[in-house]
Chains A and B, each alone.
Chain A
Amino acid sequence: MSKQAIMAWEDLALGTAILSPGNAKELRTGDWRSLKPKLDEEKCIKCSLCAMYCPEFCISVDAEGFYRPDFYYCKGCGVCANECPKDAITMGKEGE
């Protein structure tokens, strides 16, 4: 099999349909990240706008009421940082 293929053609479902609903949740979009959002808790007013704008829907509220990304899915797009009304999110280089 070609190293570039993920499966043999015989194993594809009819018409390349997806038979397990919701399997997009297995797609690790966090792999794409080169920038990582960082939250300044001092500035954050817990308004949740970042969570509403996040195109991956990966920001959820934690026990203290702060909105935090799930880094399995956060692709580092920076939409949250752009939309935050308090500039509480900064985008730093991944791995720094």
Chain B
Amino acid sequence: MGKRVGLEVSLAVAEAVKLANVDVVSAYPITPQTHIVEELSVYVASGELDAEFIPVESEHSAMSAALGAAAAGARVYTATASQGLALMHEILFIVSGMRMPMVMTVANRALSAPISIWNDHGDIMAERDIGWIQIFAENGQEALDLTLCAFKIAEDKRVLLPMIVNIDGFTLSHVIEPVIIPDHAEVDAFLPPYQPVLKLDTQNPVTFGPVGVPEVYTEARKQLEQAVIGAKPVVDEVLAGFGAAFDRQYKLVEQNGKIGAKTLFVTMGSLGETCMTAVDELMAEGQDAGQTRIRLWRPFPEEEFLAACAGAEKLVVIDRALSPGAVCGPVASELKSLFYGRPGAPEIINVIAGLGGRDVTVREFKEMFALAGSGKLSGNYMMWGVESHAS
């Protein structure tokens, strides 16, 4: 059932964390994530949430304390963005390598310099290879729902990995949306208490994080790789279970617009919703347009993506991150690898757009569509909307 309220998305995420009965929140405030952890600290202070709130002195410490708490067998939550995520960098690998489940919201924000508090995916794209499960929400309801699912996925005995739920900074984090908050009893039925497989326990001593000599490191990385790849069916299963319990369906990859269209936009995150409007308008104008939205980013849902793009001749892939000096943007790079050598592979057009909070409007998506159709979007990638004397 739940109750439908108008709520800032950050607070909806905090509600989800409270409903998940976390044991430990370890976090450092950073724009645009601040409202989430601020709200959680209020819940803990008021006794509404029976958890330990660790107000650390940096994101490096936030992730380190989260790791320690997870090793002790706690259900752990943290959140960050941009420079904060970058400061966590070295610990992120340790958490996944040690197979410690936890959930982190990243309120995606551009990296400095120049200083930008606004949204893009530069922060998370720099963390592609950390061995965490990574998913992107498109709207407020999804941010709440995926946060609940993330605990169940991360703690599943077949997974035992940390998981990041990406929400676009400001575009999602600070927007007030109508959101259905589930009842506590419904969430309790969906998400049972966490049962760690291994934890720090003086009665049963174990060593976490030992040296991995060259004779064992490769095998250790193989174990992590298999866990990440093996998480895909569990993500699918948990999302399906969530759909059955709460009547809101989420897939690893979503389709929008005309199924089997020749030209498809590929989006990830909240820009997908603007693009949907553009696709709807294009279809109303009789254009052969569709859209594929990537929800699960790591592990990459290869089969699901291929199926969603069946029959397409052109993919207009939107990247919200620039990889300077690379062949193309990170999402396009992934997709070019996926399609390489496949018969009938579509042409992949890469547009880098929406950096550091630059708006990408419905009209601009339609312009991209027109340019892609006339073959004017060529080259490895194009940075959209760059003001220049040359153009």
Chain A residues engaging chain B, CB cutoff 8 angstroms: 2, 4-10, 12-19, 21
Whether B222 contacts A9 by the Cβ 8 Å rule is yes
The reply to whether A21 and B219 form a contact with Cβ atoms under 8 Å apart is no
A66 to B172, CA, bound (A): 72
Q: Is the CB of B99 within 8 A of A5?
A: no
Query: What separation, in Å, do the CA atoms of A8 and B186 have in the docked complex?
Result: 42
Q: Is the CB of A16 within 8 A of B210?
A: yes
Contact indicator A17/B208 (Cβ below 8 Å):
yes
Nearest-neighbor residue (CB-CB) of A22 within chain B:
B205
- When the two chains form the complex, which single residue of A2, A16, A18, A19 contacts B223, counting CB atoms closer than 8 Å? A16
Whether the Cβ atoms of B98 and A15 lie closer than 8 Å is yes
| Residues in B lying within 8 Å of A, measured CB to CB | 97-100, 160, 197-198, 205-210, 212, 214-216, 218-220, 222-223, 226
List of 10 A-B pairs having minimum Cβ-Cβ separation, nearest first: A15-B99, A18-B207, A9-B219, A9-B222, A21-B205, A15-B98, A6-B215, A16-B220, A9-B223, A17-B206
| Other-chain contact of B218, A5, A15, A17 (Cβ < 8 Å) | A5
B209 CB, min distance to chain A CBs, angstroms: 8
Q: Which residues of A contact B160 (CB under 8 A)?
A: 14-15
CB-based contact B219/A7 at 8 Å? yes
User: Which residues of the other chain, B, contact A9 by a CB distance below 8 angstroms?
Assistant: 218-220, 222-223, 226
Cβ–Cβ < 8 Å partners of A4 in chain B: 214-215
- B-side contacts of A13, CB under 8 Å: 198, 206
* B residues near A8, Cβ cutoff 8 Å: 219
22 A-B contacts, Cβ less than 8 Å apart? A4-B215, A5-B216, A5-B218, A5-B219, A6-B215, A8-B219, A9-B219, A9-B223, A12-B216, A12-B219, A13-B198, A14-B99, A14-B160, A14-B198, A15-B208, A16-B212, A16-B220, A17-B198, A17-B207, A17-B208, A18-B207, A21-B207
Known pairs A6-B215, A15-B223. 8 more at Cβ < 8 A?
Answer: A4-B214, A5-B218, A5-B219, A7-B216, A9-B220, A9-B223, A15-B97, A17-B208
